Amino acid sequence: MVASPEDAADLRSCFGKDFLIVTPGIRPSWSAMDDQKRASTPQAALKNGASYLVIGRAITSASDPLGTLKKIEDEINGV
């Protein structure tokens, strides 16, 4: 199911650990929220039970998309 990061926790508790939750609107803590109304950091979305994160503009509009992806990965892993 596609759901906001804010709704992921309720969905996870209702449908269990095997239910897939895709969360768009993911922004790293250092990224601008732009026009996102229900955005979340990767860590918060994962903590709320997201299975997959949709991270778009933070990567696609970066001058170094691969470096940005690595920075996001480090943020998720707490590096």
pLDDT digits (tens, 9 = 90+) for 30-46: 887 777 777 899 999 99
First CA to last CA distance, the chain: 30
How many structural domains does the chain have? 1
Find all residues with CB under 8 Å of 57, minimum gap 6, and list them.
Answer: 34
Regions in the chain scoring below 50 on pLDDT:
none
**Residue 30: which domain range?**
5-76
Rg, the chain, Cα only = 13
Q: What is the pLDDT of residue 43?
A: 94
Q: Which two tokens stand for residue 11?
A: 């969905």
